[in-house]
Amino acid sequence: MQICILSVGKIKEKFYQEALAEYAKRLNAYVQLEILEVDDEPCPEHYSAADKERVLQLEAKRLSRHLRQRDGLVLLDILGKELTSEKWSQQYQELCGRGFGRLVFIVGGSLGVHSEIRARSDFRWSFGPLTLPHALARVVLLEQLYRGIRIQRGEPYHK
C-alpha cells in the first residue's frame, strides 16, 4: 500500500524529526511511505473570519497540488471519529480494501483545514478531544499507523 503523510508546516525540532524518522523506517517494511510538507500561511495573531478563510484557502491549494484523483483521504480532525488502536487497525484494513491508489493522511495547519479538504476526505480520524502540537500529532499518526498494521498482521507490538 502506498501511504502519503501530507502536512501543513515544517517540523523544526530535532527530537520530533528523529521520532518521525524512526517510525518511517519501521513503516517502510510494510508500506511505500512518502512524507510531504507544504508551507503554512502566516496569519495575524488576532485574525478575522475573512483572514482565517484566506489562510485556509491558500493552504488547501498547496495541499491539493499533491492529491490525485484515486487517493483515499484520511483527515486528522478533532471532530472526527475516535478509535482504539484495534478499531483503527480494522478501519485501516477497510480503507485498504476500497481500491484507492494510495492513502493520504492530512494534518492541517494551526487553523485547521478548508471545508473543501474536509468534504473530500473519506475518513475523519480524531486522536481525542485534547489539542496536540502538530509535530506531536504527526508522531502519534505514524506510531498508530505502525501499530495498526502490526495488529492487522497478527504481529506482536508492545502494550
User: ∠95-97-102 over CA atoms, to 5°?
Assistant: 65
Query: Which structural domains are found in the chain, ordered by start?
Result: 2-42+50-77+86-152 (3.40.1280.10)
145 is in an annotated binding site: no
Q: Do 50 and 79 contact (CB within 8 A), yes or no?
A: no
pLDDT computed for residue 158 by the predictor: 64
131 is in an annotated binding site: yes
pLDDT computed for residue 159 by the predictor: 58
129 is in an annotated binding site: yes
pTM higher than the cut 0.85 = yes
76 is in an annotated binding site: yes
84 is in an annotated binding site: no
132 is in an annotated binding site: yes
pLDDT computed for residue 60 by the predictor: 98
127 is in an annotated binding site: yes
133 is in an annotated binding site: no
CA distances from 114 to 43, 106, 107, 111, 148 (A): 15, 12, 12, 9, 28
- The per-residue pLDDT string of the chain (159 residues; one tens digit each, 9 = 90 and over) reads 999 999 999 999 999 999 999 999 999 999 999 999 999 999 888 999 999 999 999 999 999 999 999 999 999 999 999 999 999 999 999 999 999 999 999 999 999 999 999 999 999 999 999 888 999 999 999 999 999 999 999 998 765
Residue 77 pairs with which residues in a beta bridge? none
C-alpha cell at 57: 484557502
